[in-house]
Structures are given as C-alpha cells and as structure tokens.
Amino acid sequence: MITLDIQGFQELQDELMKELNALKSDKVVTVGIHEEAGNVESGDITMAGLGATHEFGAEIKHPGGTSYGYASKAAADRDEVRFLKIGAGYMQLGVTQAHTIDIPARPWLEPGVASATPEVLLTIQDGMEAGQSMDQILDTVGVVAAAAVKIYMTELKTPPNAASTIRKKGSSNPLIDSGAMRASVTHKVSIGPVTEGLE
C-alpha cells in the first residue's frame, strides 16, 4: 500500500489559491448529480432529489394502506412478517396506518469531495505548471473529485440500512442499490456563480 504524505499542505493550498485568484476566471466546476440526470427509474423523484434525500435525510408522510403478512406458508411457520404486494402472499394480516418514515442523513457529496482535496490541489498545481487553460484544469479537477465521491459512496457504511431494506435489495451498502445514483455523479464546467446545490 502506497501512502502519500504531503509536506506543507496548508502552504501549498494557500499558494495555489493565490495563483488561481490571479487568473480571475469566471468559470466554476460543479460535482454531484446535475439536473440532466433526470428522474429515478420509478419516475416519482429526480435523481438529484434522491441524492439530496440521502445527503440531508428526510421525513416522509406515508398515507398507509400497505398490506403486510406472510409471503408463504414457510414464512408463516417462521412467523416472518413482510410487506406484501396487493393480492400476493400466503396470508394478509392487515394494512398499515398512516405513519412517518424517517430517512437518516447519509452525507456523501460534501465529504466525498473533501476526500479528494489533496489530489485536487496536486492536479491544479500540475495543470498550472503544464500551462493548461483554466477550462482544462477545472475539467480535470472535476474528474478527480467525481471519482472520489463515487469511491466514498461505495465505501459508506453508516448509518446502516434497516434489516428489511437489506433483505429487499440484497445489499448492506446504504447508498448503493442498482448503482444508478452513483453512476449519475458527474462534473460540469460552467460560468459561475453556482445557483443551486451545495455551496
């Protein structure tokens, strides 16, 4: 395993910020789930909205009416109660009442981008030394930061999913189900200032 130890990290960061400010570009790079990602497969929420729900948490007022009971005779023998699709299952025991579902915050974007800081600073330094344009530097920074966010999402473990959620999707990773949200993380170089998302 290779460990990168950056000596004088704060000094490097301060110097790079001075040089970047001297370039006076009106361009910015944004990293995350952009509007162009569209809706999730079910179509009832945007991919960006799903990302925000995980980043900040949410409280959902559920109207109730979901059937629950035994999915099979074997499940009944084990007294294993699950939510059932309408008309499905071995035995319906009842339907849920109106209730609130609390989705805990699982910050992934801000800490994911922050995890890329050392590599981003080196990327900026390398780009400036190579005489790259601001657009080129920002594009490379976006690639680096987006990749770091995806790694962070993949490795996130807490807070864990409920046992019923793990059973349903077959995975314990709280942010990864089909992988569509992670795949939607991109970067975009545009003219600032940023008018939406995290600042």
**DSSP-derived secondary structure for 62-122:** E----EEEESSHHHHHTT-EEE--TT-SSEEEEEPPSEEEEEPP---HHHHHHTTHHHHHH
Amino acid 166: pLDDT: 53
- What whole-number distance in Å separates Cα of residue 162 and Cα of residue 91? 24
User: Which residues share a beta bridge with 100?
Assistant: 61
| Residue segments in the chain with a per-residue pLDDT below the cut of 70 | 1-10, 12-13, 16-17, 19-24, 43, 159-174, 176, 195-199
Amino acid 170: pLDDT: 57
Amino acid 107: pLDDT: 92
Give me the phi and psi of 152, to 5 degrees please. Answer: -60, -45
User: Which residues share a beta bridge with 103?
Assistant: 58
- What whole-number distance in Å separates Cα of residue 183 and Cα of residue 187? 12
Looking only at the bridges linking them, the beta strands covering 58-62 and 27-33 are unpaired
For 28, the token pair is 């910015």
Task: Say whether pTM exceeds 0.85.
Answer: no
- What whole-number distance in Å separates Cα of residue 189 and Cα of residue 176? 26
pLDDT tens string 15-41: 766 766 666 678 889 999 998 888 887
